[in-house]
Structure 1
Amino acid sequence: MAGAKPGVHALQLKPVSVHEALKKGGKFIKWEEDTSQNVPDRQITLNVDADGFFLYWSVSPNQELEILDISLIRDTRTGKYAKQPKQKTLDLIPSRDENDNLLTIVYGTDLVNVTFYNFVALELNVAKLWVDQLFEMATNKLSQNASRTTYLRKAHTKLTLQAIDGKIPLKNIYKMFSDRKRVDYALDKKHVTAINLEEFTWDFFTGFLDKACGRPELQTILEESGSRNKPFITLDQFTTFLNTKQRDPRLNEVLYPPLKKEQVRQIMENYESPSHLDRDQISLKAFSNYLAGEENNIVPPEKLDLMDDMNQPLSNYFINSSHNTYLTVGQLTGMSSVEMYRQVLLTGCRCIELDCWKGRLPDEEPYITHGFTMTTEISFKEVLEAIAESAFKTSNYPVILSFENHVDSPTQQAKMAEYCKTIFGDALLINPLEKFPLVPEQPLPSPQDLLGKILVKNKKKPDLSVKSLEEAGLKELEPESEEEDTEETAAEMNKPYSDEGTAYREVIATKEMSTLVNYIQPVKFKSFNDAAKKKRVDSSNYMPQLFWNIGCQMVALNFQTPDLPMQLNMGVFEYNGRSGYLLKPEVMRRTDRQFDPFTDSIVDGIVANAFRITVISGQFLSERKVGVIVEVDMFGLPGDAKKRAKTKMSNGNSMDPVWKNEKFFFPQVILPSLASVRISAYEENGRFIGHRVLPVSAIRPGFHYICLKNELNQPLMLPSLLVLTEVWDYIPTEHQKYADALADPI
C-alpha cells in the first residue's frame, strides 16, 4: 500500500490470528547460553494461548508454567541468525537440517537489556513457522493498541495459565491487584489459598472486578446521558450520546455522517442481552462494556495504519533517526553493541549511525566505536550483517546509513565499500534511479520509490559531488557534532592520509566509498547553535519537537536512553504504520510560502484546534497501594497557549482512583497535525507508571479508556485511565459570536 487516498480509509490492519500449530504446541529442546549455571537441556512443549497473549511452557509437572508476554517479544530468529547451541544439544535432535531447527526469542522492555530464550525444534520445518508466527503476533499494531476489555481478558488468561494442579493460587491475584482487603472482599473466600480453575471463568473474573471496584463514575456518565436513576438508557438516548459526546466535530459530515438508529442498534447487539435489545435499551453493564470495547478506542485503528501519502519527495518526511546507534550507555564509557543495531531497526528507526575507524594490524578490519573515548569496539562487518538481517523486518521503507567516516586508509575504505555491496546485495542503492537523476531542480525520490533499499550517507569525494544534492538533500540534526566549527579549507580537503587520529574531522571519502553515495550526503549546517554539544556525555536527549517544528527531517536521538524525548519519539513514530516516515504538514512542504514556527496566531490555510481533557478515573495503575498523579503535556508549536497540567494526588489509592473536576483546557493548538498530547501517570514518590502519546489530529472525542504503555511504548496489561476528550476547531474570541450565530441561526 502506497499510502492514503482521498476519502474514507480502507483499513489494512488485521487482528491477531493464532496458527493452529502454535495452539496445539510444538516439541523443543530448551538450552541455556550461560553454561556457568549448569542448567541441563530440557525437552519442553511450547504453546500459545488461543488469543495470542502469551507463549508458555512447562519445566516439570505440577509446577507453574514459564510465561512470556508476546507483546514484549522484540525479535525471533532462526538459521544462522539464531544463537548456536553446543554440539551435544544438537545431538539430541533426531532429524535436523543444519541450523533450520533453531529458534531464538529476543525479549525485554528496553533496547539494551534484552534476554535470549533459545530452543531447538525436534522436527524439521517447525522452527521457521514459530519464528514467523510469533514475530507477526508480537508486532501486530492492533494488539499493541488493544481495548481495555482485551487487556482484562489478557489478565484473566494469565491467571488461568498460572494454575497449579487445577487451582489458581490467591497469591497471584494479590500480586496483580494492589489492595488485598478488597481482593478478599470481592472473592468472598475466607481461609482459602486457591480457587478452582473451573470456577474461575471470564464471568467470575468480571464479577470479581465489579465487586472490587465499584466504578460510580460509570453510573454518573449513564445518568448524564439520560438514565434518570434507571440502570439503562434507551436506543434514542444512546444514539444521541454517540452523535454528540462521542462524535468528532472535525469530521466531514458527507464522508462521515452521524450514526442512524439502525447502526447504533448494531453496536448495541455486540454488548447487550436479547431482553434489553427487545426493549430498545442498553444497560449499565453493556454501556460500560461498550466504553471499554474495541469500537471505542481513543485512537481509531486506521490512524495506526499506513495513512500518509508515501509518494512525496524524501525530504518531505520526518524520518525516525538514531544517534551513535552502537552505544548502550554513555558517550565516554561503556559497551558498544552489534545487537543495538538490530534493536533500533526493529523499533522502526530508518536512519542509523556508524562511526567507522581504521582497523589495526594484522587484520586491518575497520571497526565502530566512539572515537577517543573508553567505549568498546565492534566489528564493522558484523554491524553490516546485523543491519542486513533486521533492516526491513518492521518496515519496508528505506534505511539510511549515516557514516561518520574516520577510516584514513584507502585500502580499508575500499574494504568497507566491498562489504556494503556483498552483504546488502541488491538492497544497496548504488546508482540513482532512472526517473530521479542527480541533476539540478530534480526532486528526490519518494519512500515508495525506494522501498526495500539501503542508502549510504557519507562524505563524497569533491569531484564526484553534485551541487544540487546540497539544495535538495536531507538535513540531519544530531545531539552533538564531532566536526570543527570552522569551514574545511581546500588544503584540509587535500590533506594526505596519516596515522594520526581524526576524531574532530571526518576523512575524505575514497572513490570506492563515494560511488555508494547518491541522494544523501552530509552538508555543514550552520543555522543552529548547540551550546551544550561539547559538554553532554551522558547520552541524554534533547526534545525532538523543537526541531520537528522547524522542519528538520532527521532528528537523531540516543535510543539507549528511554527519557522523555525518546518516549515522545517512540510515541509519535508509532503512527503511519510504524513505517519510520511521517509526512510533514502541508504548510511545511509548500515552496511558495515560508512557515513561521514561532507564530502565536492562526496560520493561513490551517484550521487550529482547541482541546480539553477531563481525567475521570484510573484503573489498576500500580501493584502497590500508593497515591497516583496524572500529568497531561501538550507538545506542539511554541505559540500554543498551554503546555502542561496535572491532577491532584489520589489518596493512597492506585487501584481505582476517581478525580473530580480535573479538566485541562488547551485553548489553541495552532498546527494540530504536528502536535501530540502525552498523558502519563506517576506514583506519589515520582516513580513512572506508564504513559500514552496521542496525535491531536487522531484523538477521538468522547469518553474513552487510555491504556498506558511503558517507556519503550510497549503496552502495559492493566493500567488505564478513563478520560473525556473534547476537540473542536479553534475560533478566535473576536469571531466567536459570528460562529454561534451560524451554528444556531434561528
Structure 2
Amino acid sequence: MTKKFEFNWHVPVPEPLLQGCVFDRWNEDKDSSDIEPNCLFKVDEYGFFIYWKSEGREGDVIELCQVSDIRAGGVPKDSRLLAQLANKNGENLEEKSLTICSGTDYININYQHVVCPDAATAKTWQDGLRKITHNNKMNNVCVRTNLMKHWMRLGMLVDPKGKVPVKVVARTFASGKTEKLVYQCLQDLGLPSEKNDVIEPADFTFEKFYELYHKICPRNDIEELFQSITQGKADTINIDQFITFLNEKQRDPRLNEILYPLYDEKRAAEIIATYEQNEEAVKEKKLTKDGLIRYLMSDENAPVFLDRLDIYMEMDQPLSHYYINSSHNTYLIGRQFGGKSSVEMYRQVLLAGCRCVELDCWDGKGEDEEPIITHGKAMCTDILFKDVIYALRDTAFVTSDLPVILSFENHCCKTQQYKLAKYCDEILGDLLLKEPLPDYPLDPGVPLPPPNLLKKKILIKNKRLKPEVEKKELELFKQGQFVIDDEEKEDASAPVSVNVEEKKVDIAEASAEAAVEAPVQVQYTGSTTNVHPWLSSMVNYAQPIKFQGFDVADQKNIHHNMSSFAENTGIGYLKTQALEFVNYNKRQMSRIYPKGTRADSSNYMPQVFWNAGCQMVSLNFQTPDLPMQLNQGKFEYNGNCGYLLKPDFMRRYDRNFDPFAESPVDGVIAAQCSVQVIAGQFLSDKKVGTYVEVDMYGLPTDTIRKEFRTRMVPSNGLNPVYNEEPFLFRKVVLPDLAVLRFGVYDENNKLLGQRILPLDGLQAGYRHISLRTEANFPMSLPMLFCNIELKIYVPDGFEGFMAALSDPRAYLSGQEKRAQQMKAMGIEETDINTKDIVGGGDTAKKSSKEEEKKAEDITFEIITIEILKNEKAYLKITRKQQKELDAMQKRHLKERMLVQKQQCTTVEKLVKGKNKTDIAKEAGVKEVVSGQVGQWSEMMERHRKEYWALMKQHVSEQQDTLTKLMDSTHAAQMKQLEAKHEREMKEMNAKQAKISVETMKEVANDKTLRTKGEKDRRLREKKQNNTKKFMDERKHAQMKQSKEKEKLSVKHEKQKQDLLKEINNMLELYKNEEIEYELTNKVEFFA
C-alpha cells in the first residue's frame, strides 16, 4: 500500500535487564538437583532471550516467547540444597528468589530458579521480565528478524571461553547439507572452518551469518521470481516493473483503493531505498535480487495484516456477540480417567489467552474438609480449590484485561459451598463481579454487558437460587440465622462404575450440568438447586439453566441465562434446528464441551460450533491436536485478548444465517483463494523427506481437508523446493469464518510444524510463513515460501460481467470503440446520425434471423362474426332456419289468400244487384266491411308476432352456434399455443440436459483439477450454478408463456364480447320493430 505500516513489535527492555546482574541459579528434579552460583543473567536489546553464563561453564538461553510466567519466591524442597543457598544468600531467601517458567506446551513446564542479591532486585527483574514477555507481536516478526534472532542465539551459546563453536553453527544447517559444505562456506567467508574451531563473536557479524545462509541455502525460488519480473532481460528490476509487481502480485485486488491505495512511484522508491544495499541501484530506483530477497523477507510482507495483532475489533457489544477462548476440565494435564490434576494448568491456560476455565468442585474428605477440584470419581488426583483461586488471582489479567468466566461444576454440600464463596470473596476481592452493573440489570430483554465494561472482572457461572429464595436465605445468612441442612454426603468409598460407552443424550434434555462429560456414571446429591445463598448471590451474567428448547428461550428472552451442550447434543441441534441455534446465540451464551467418551482428552472440531455462533467452545488445552491448533490460531489475533467479535450477520436480529449454506450469504462477498507452495526453509534438523498439506476450515461447504498436498521432497529438511501447481479454493462462501492451515510433515507423517492463518486479513502475494509447534508456539527458523492469490468469487457465466465492472474501458461496445477511433480522426459525436439509418445491414439481419430462428412465433387470426358465419355449422343452421322461415311465410301467405278470398266472396254476395250509392249507405255492408278489417288486422298482427318470435329463436340459435364455434376456435388456438410452449420446454430441457452432460465431461477432462475432491467440488459448484441458471430459465419461460396465454385469453374474451354485442344488436332491432308496431294504428286491410 502507499502508506507504510509501522510494525512496532519491539518492547523496550528495561536498563537493569540489559546491564545484567549476577544471580545464583538452581534447579531441582525428581532424581537430581543442581546449583550454579554467580551466573551473569542478561536480556538482549530486542527482548528475544534471557541468557546466562558463569565462569567455566557454557552459556545457556531461554527464548522469552516460551516464557509463560515469572513468579516471586520458590525455595528448594531438598534440605541440603536449601541449606547451601541459605548459607550463601542469608535469610529471607524466598523474598530474593524468582522462578522463570517456560516451555513449548502447557504441560511440560521448565522452572529456572534464581536467587537475587536482594528483594528489590528480585522485584525489578520480575516486573521487567513480565513487561517484555507475552509479546504477541514478537511471535509474528518477519523471517529476516528470525534469522537475526537465531544469529543472536548462536552468539549466546558460547563455550567456557566465550567463543562461538563452529560445530554449533554447523548444526543450524545440518539437515540436507553435508558438514563439509558448511565448513567450506565458512572458509569462503574467511571464518574458522574446522569442526573443533571456534569463532570470535566480534567476527561473526549478522551480515556474515546472512551471507553464510545464502551460500548454504541459495534462494533459487526467488531467483525464478526475479527472472519473471525482469523477463530475463536485466540484472535489476526497474521502478515501473516493481510497481506493476507490487500492484498485480502483492496486493489483494478486492481491497478498497481509497482505504488501501495502489502502490505509486513514491512508495516504490521508499521500499527500494529501505531494502536495496547497492547505492547505485538506489539512485537509479532499481532493485537487485538481493534487495528483492530482503524486501520479501521483511515485515512488509507478513502473510496477514499485522494490525490484526492489536485489539482491532469493537469491544462494546454484548458478551453474547463474541467468541470466547474457553477451556474444558482445565485442571487435568492428561487423560480424563486416572489422570493428574494440576493448579499450574490454570495459570498456563490463562496466560495463553483463555478467558473461560472450568472448576469441578467436590467436597474435601480430609479433617479440614477443604473443597477440592477433581474429575469426580474418575480416579484423577485432586487439588485444593483455594490454591486454584490464588492462581486465578495471579494470572487472570496478565495477558488480557478482558473478563474471565469461572465455570463451576458444583458438587459440594452447602457447608463447603460456603468455603467456595468465602475464598472467592477474600482472595479475588474487587476482581470478582459480585453485583450486576447498574445499566445492565438482570431483567428479561436486557442485553449482556460488553467486555469493555467488565475489564479485570471475574464472573462466576454457577446454579443460582430463585430470587425470592435467595433474598430470604441471604438475609438469614447475614443475620447469622441461616441453618445449613446438608443432605447425606456421598460415600467416598463407594465403588466406581466405568461406562466406556457414550451416554445417549436426548436433544430435548440437554443439561447445563456437565455430569455426562465423564465416562464414569456418577450419582451424586450435590447442589444443582441446593445452593448456598452467598455463592448464589455472586452469580450474575452467567446463570446456567437446563435447556428447554429454543422457542422457550425466545419467549423468556432472558439474556443472562445460558446452557451447556455436549458436543454430540450440540451437533444434534445443528442438524435439526441450525437457524434457531444461531439466533439463540445472538441473545444469550452457550457452552460446548467434549462428549464423555473422549477419555484420552482428545478434542472435537470447534469450527462447526463457531459457525453457529456458540461463544464458549471449550477444549482440552492439554492436548495440542488439530482442533486445539485451530483454536489457538484463531484467537491469536485481536491482541490475543481471548475475545473475537462474531460476523455482523451472526449478531443482527434482522438477519437469518444458515451455517450449512452453500451459496453466498446476502451482504457477504464470497472469495476465491489460490495457494502455491513454492519452497520451505529449516523444516527439520534431520535429513528427511518432507511434504506440505494445505487445508481450509470454515462453513461445511468451505472446508477442504486432507486433499491438497505437495509432492514429497526426499532427504532434504533444510531447503526443499516443491514448486507445486497452485491449490485452488475456488469458492469460499464465508471468508470471515474461514482459516487456512499449513501443515508440514516428514516422510513418516510426523508433524514438523503448522500455521493457522485467517482468510479475513490474509495478504496476497509472495509471502514467507513462519511455522508454529503443535501447541502454536513460534519456531524461529522453519518457514514456507508461498504465493497466495485472492479474488472475488465469480460464478460461471459471469466472468465477462465481472471483468466489465472491474475495467469498463476494456469492455466498450464495438460502436463506442468506432466512435473513439472516428474522434481521433476529427469526427465528433455530434456529427454522427444514427436516427435515420434504414435497415440493420448484414450483421443486423443475420442477428435478427438467428433470433427469429431461436424464438418461434405464432400469429393468431382475429376471429370475427363474419369469419364464423362462413363456418359449415353456421351455414347449416342458417339453411335450416331459412326453410323454417320460408314455410312460415308460405303458410301466412296461404292464410292471407284464403281470408282475402273469403272476404271478397262475402262482399260480392252482399253487393250483388245493388248500385254503388246505396251500398255506401247500407248499414249491413258497413258492418260486414268493419268485421273483415278487424279480422284482417288481427291476422296480420299474429303473423308479425310469429315472424318476430321465429327471428328471435333463429338469432338465439345462431348465438349458440356462433358461441360454440368461437369457443372451439379459441380452444384450438390455445391448444396450438400450448403445443408451442411444450415444444419450447422440451427444447429447453434437452438443451439443459446437454449442458449438464457437457459440464460433467468438462470437469472430468479438466487437467487442472488434480484430485477427486477437487473434481467433485467443481462439479457440485457447476451443478449448483447450472441448477440456478436452469431454474431461472424455466421461471422466465413460464412467465413468458403465462403472459402469452393471458394475452391470448384477453383477446378471446374481447372477441366473445364483440360477438355478443352484435347478436344483441340484432335482437334489439327486432325488439324496436315490435315497439314501433305497438305504437302505430293496428287497423289494416288488403287493397
TM-score, structure 2 normalization: 0.63
Residues 505/738 of structure 1: CA separation in 2 closer, same or farther (3 Å cut): farther
Q: Which residue number in structure 2 is paired with residue 510 of structure 1? A: 532
Residues 519/236 of structure 1: CA separation in 2 closer, same or farther (3 Å cut): same
Q: Unaligned stretches of 5+ in structure 1? A: 1-7, 467-479, 490-499
Aligned-partner Cα distance in 2 for 1:13–1:350:
26
Residues 568/233 of structure 1: CA separation in 2 closer, same or farther (3 Å cut): same
CA offsets 1:529-552 (integer angstroms, 9 cap, x no match): 717934221100000001101111
Residues 325/358 of structure 1: CA separation in 2 closer, same or farther (3 Å cut): same
What are the equivalent positions in structure 2 for 1:229-378 lying under 5 Å apart? Answer: 229-273=233-277, 274-378=279-383
The answer to which of 130-139 and 621-630 deviates more is: 130-139
Is contact 1:41-1:89 (8 Å) kept? no
Aligned-partner Cα distance in 1 for 2:377–2:603:
21
Q: For 2:615, which of 553, 556, 560 is the aligned residue?
A: 553
1:537 aligns with 2:599: yes
The answer to which of 304-313 and 236-245 deviates more is: 236-245
What are the equivalent positions in structure 2 for 1:132-171 lying under 5 Å apart? Answer: 132-164=127-159, 165-171=161-167
Q: For 1:116, which of 111, 126, 132 is the aligned residue?
A: 111
Say which SS state the counterpart of residue 47 (structure 1) adopts: strand
Q: Which residue number in structure 1 is paired with residue 58 of structure 2? A: 64
Q: Which residue number in structure 2 is paired with residue 476 of structure 1? A: none
Q: CA deviation at 1:167?
A: 3.5
1:187 aligns with 2:149: no
Aligned-partner Cα distance in 1 for 2:77–2:731:
53
Q: Which residue number in structure 2 is paired with residue 685 of structure 1? A: 748
Q: CA deviation at 1:688?
A: 1.2
Is contact 1:336-1:377 (8 Å) kept? yes
TM-score, structure 1 normalization: 0.91
Aligned-partner Cα distance in 2 for 1:210–1:41:
39
Larger helix percent: 2
Residues 45/619 of structure 1: CA separation in 2 closer, same or farther (3 Å cut): same
Q: For 2:42, which of 43, 47, 72 is the aligned residue?
A: 47
Q: CA deviation at 1:60?
A: 2.6
Residues 662/27 of structure 1: CA separation in 2 closer, same or farther (3 Å cut): same
CA offsets 1:556-596 (integer angstroms, 9 cap, x no match): 00000011101110110000000000000001001112210
Residues 663/247 of structure 1: CA separation in 2 closer, same or farther (3 Å cut): same
Q: For 1:724, which of 764, 772, 787 is the aligned residue?
A: 787
Q: Unaligned stretches of 5+ in structure 2? A: 471-501, 512-521, 550-564, 570-593, 810-1087
Residues 661/29 of structure 1: CA separation in 2 closer, same or farther (3 Å cut): closer
Q: CA deviation at 1:503?
A: 8.3
Q: Which residue number in structure 1 is paired with residue 660 of structure 2? A: 598
Q: For 1:217, which of 221, 224, 233 is the aligned residue?
A: 221
Residues 162/482 of structure 1: CA separation in 2 closer, same or farther (3 Å cut): farther
Q: For 1:388, which of 390, 393, 397 is the aligned residue?
A: 393
Amino acid in structure 2 at the alignment position of 1:520: A
1:628 aligns with 2:690: yes
Q: Which residue number in structure 2 is paired with residue 175 of structure 1? A: 171
Q: Which residue number in structure 1 is paired with residue 671 of structure 2? A: 609
Residues 13/278 of structure 1: CA separation in 2 closer, same or farther (3 Å cut): closer
Aligned-partner Cα distance in 1 for 2:732–2:75:
47
1:699 aligns with 2:762: yes
Q: Which residue number in structure 1 is paired with residue 806 of structure 2? A: 743
Residues 298/465 of structure 1: CA separation in 2 closer, same or farther (3 Å cut): farther
Say which SS state the counterpart of residue 57 (structure 1) adopts: strand
Q: Which residue number in structure 2 is paired with residue 520 of structure 1? A: 542
Aligned-partner Cα distance in 2 for 1:502–1:253:
63
CA offsets 1:168-216 (integer angstroms, 9 cap, x no match): 2222123222122432342236645224223322222112111112221
Q: For 1:199, which of 203, 227, 235 is the aligned residue?
A: 203
Aligned-partner Cα distance in 1 for 2:294–2:620:
41
Is contact 1:460-1:517 (8 Å) kept? yes
Q: Which residue number in structure 2 is paired with residue 73 of structure 1? A: 67
Say which SS state the counterpart of residue 333 (structure 1) adopts: coil
Q: For 2:438, which of 416, 423, 434 is the aligned residue?
A: 434
The answer to which of 572-581 and 531-540 deviates more is: 531-540
Is contact 2:679-2:784 (8 Å) kept? yes
The answer to which of 180-189 and 22-31 deviates more is: 180-189
CA offsets 1:231-269 (integer angstroms, 9 cap, x no match): 310122112211221112222111221122112211222
Aligned-partner Cα distance in 2 for 1:483–1:419:
35
Amino acid in structure 2 at the alignment position of 1:50: E
Q: CA deviation at 1:114?
A: 0.2
Residues 10/354 of structure 1: CA separation in 2 closer, same or farther (3 Å cut): farther
Residues 109/83 of structure 1: CA separation in 2 closer, same or farther (3 Å cut): farther
The answer to which of 422-431 and 296-305 deviates more is: 296-305
Say which SS state the counterpart of residue 453 (structure 2) adopts: coil
Aligned-partner Cα distance in 2 for 1:588–1:249:
26
Residues 742/215 of structure 1: CA separation in 2 closer, same or farther (3 Å cut): same
Aligned-partner Cα distance in 1 for 2:328–2:264:
51
Is contact 1:320-1:580 (8 Å) kept? yes
Residues 73/331 of structure 1: CA separation in 2 closer, same or farther (3 Å cut): same
The answer to which of 501-510 and 310-319 deviates more is: 501-510
Residues 503/138 of structure 1: CA separation in 2 closer, same or farther (3 Å cut): farther
Q: Which residue number in structure 1 is paired with residue 497 of structure 2? A: none
Is contact 2:105-2:777 (8 Å) kept? no
Aligned-partner Cα distance in 2 for 1:515–1:80:
36
Q: Which structure's CA Rg is the greater one? A: 2
Amino acid in structure 1 at the alignment position of 2:88: L
Q: Which residue number in structure 2 is paired with residue 397 of structure 1? A: 402
Is contact 1:11-1:305 (8 Å) kept? no
The answer to which of 684-693 and 529-538 deviates more is: 529-538
Residues 451/131 of structure 1: CA separation in 2 closer, same or farther (3 Å cut): same
Residues 535/565 of structure 1: CA separation in 2 closer, same or farther (3 Å cut): same
Is contact 1:458-1:509 (8 Å) kept? no
Residues 602/484 of structure 1: CA separation in 2 closer, same or farther (3 Å cut): closer
Aligned-partner Cα distance in 2 for 1:517–1:526:
21
Aligned-partner Cα distance in 1 for 2:503–2:83:
47
1:668 aligns with 2:663: no
1:572 aligns with 2:634: yes
Is contact 2:671-2:792 (8 Å) kept? yes
Say which SS state the counterpart of residue 326 (structure 2) adopts: strand
Q: CA deviation at 1:27?
A: 1.7
Is contact 1:484-1:504 (8 Å) kept? no
Q: Which residue number in structure 2 is paired with residue 474 of structure 1? A: none
Q: CA deviation at 1:707?
A: 0.6
1:586 aligns with 2:648: yes
Is contact 1:482-1:504 (8 Å) kept? no
Amino acid in structure 1 at the alignment position of 2:71: R
Aligned-partner Cα distance in 2 for 1:485–1:364:
38
Residues 487/278 of structure 1: CA separation in 2 closer, same or farther (3 Å cut): closer
Residues 248/81 of structure 1: CA separation in 2 closer, same or farther (3 Å cut): farther
Q: Which residue number in structure 2 is paired with residue 33 of structure 1? A: 28
Aligned-partner Cα distance in 2 for 1:399–1:675:
26
Say which SS state the counterpart of residue 430 (structure 1) adopts: coil
Aligned-partner Cα distance in 2 for 1:12–1:267:
15
Aligned-partner Cα distance in 2 for 1:618–1:91:
53
CA offsets 1:671-692 (integer angstroms, 9 cap, x no match): 1111110111111111211111
